[in-house]
């Protein structure tokens, strides 16, 4: 599958310029609304009271409007989004994202044939309400992380995560199920 057509050069420069301004804006409460403004102008789909620390990174073929951040989402610094035109990342309300988390909605095919591209596999990522994702985590395409789940630091999430599960590792496996007295 072809990822998508090339992004218009001027649109690419415009987006990169605004992200550069976003990325040099200090992570102080005074600048929260300014950083949110830059992301909205770039095209991110952002709800109320979203806080995103700089810097963030998007892959060159990412369509910013396919990144949807609901109310009260917090995203720490150095988070990367790879969300081409035919995929989405949806992060529901009250979710916490630690630094250095990668959202990768595209993966390449395994079969190598000389003089042919490997192709691409696309899929969405859904992060449900109240999820906490630890530092240095990678989340791959076609994954849903259900409500209240916790992803341990340094994990690779390549399969769905059930409600109130703590998962970790490479690949991520269930560590514990969260109960009221946990």
Question: Tens place of pLDDT for every residue, the chain, 182 residues?
Answer: 444 456 677 888 888 889 999 999 999 999 999 999 999 999 999 998 999 999 999 988 888 999 999 999 999 999 999 998 889 999 999 999 999 999 999 988 888 888 888 878 899 999 999 999 999 999 999 999 999 999 999 999 999 999 999 999 999 999 999 986 65
pLDDT at 2: 43
CA angle 110–114–117, rounded 5-degree value: 55
pLDDT at 181: 61
Catalytic residue among 16, 108, 159, 173: 108
Residue spans per domain, the chain: 9-177
Lookup: tokens for 131: 């999820």
Give helix 9-23 / helix 32-42 axis angle, nearest 10°.
Answer: 170
Strands 56-58 and 138-140: unpaired
Whether 108 sits among the annotated catalytic residues: the reply is yes
pLDDT at 1: 41
d(CA 111, CA 96): 37
Distance of CA 107 to the CA centre of its chain: 15
Write down the residue that tokens 């916490």 correspond to: 96
Distance of CA 27 to the CA centre of its chain: 19
Q: Which CATH class is domain 9-177?
A: mainly beta
- Contacts of residues 102-105 at CB distance under 8 Å and 24 or more positions apart, as own/partner, are 102/137, 102/138, 102/139, 103/79, 103/139, 104/80, 104/138, 104/139, 104/140, 104/141, 105/141
pLDDT at 5: 54
d(CA 152, CA 17): 34
pLDDT at 3: 44
SS3 165: strand
Q: How far is CA 102 from CA 1, 48, 137, 159, in A?
A: 22, 23, 6, 15
Q: Most distant CA pair in the chain: distance in Å?
A: 58
pLDDT at 69: 97
């Amino acid at each position: 599958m072809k990822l998508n057509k090339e992004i218009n050069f001027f649109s690419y420069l415009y987006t990169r310029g605004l992200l550069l301004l976003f990325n040099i804006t200090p992570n102080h409460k005074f600048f929260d609304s300014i950083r949110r403004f830059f992301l909205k102008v770039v095209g991110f789909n952002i709800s109320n009271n979203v806080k995103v620390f700089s810097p963030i990174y998007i892959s060159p073929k990412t369509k910013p409007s396919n990144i949807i951040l609901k109310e009260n989402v917090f995203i720490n610094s150095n988070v990367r989004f790879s969300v081409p035109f035919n995929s989405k990342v949806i992060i529901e309300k009250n979710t916490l994202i630690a630094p250095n988390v990668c959202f990768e909605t595209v993966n390449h095919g395994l079969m190598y044939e000389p003089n042919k591209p490997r192709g691409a596999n696309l899929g969405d990522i859904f992060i449900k309400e109240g999820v906490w994702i630890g530092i240095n985590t990678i989340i791959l395409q076609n994954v849903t992380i259900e409500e209240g789940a916790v992803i341990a630091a340094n994990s690779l999430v390549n399969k769905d995560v059930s409600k109130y599960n703590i998962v970790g590792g490479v690949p991520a496996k269930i560590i514990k199920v969260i109960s009221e007295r946990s």
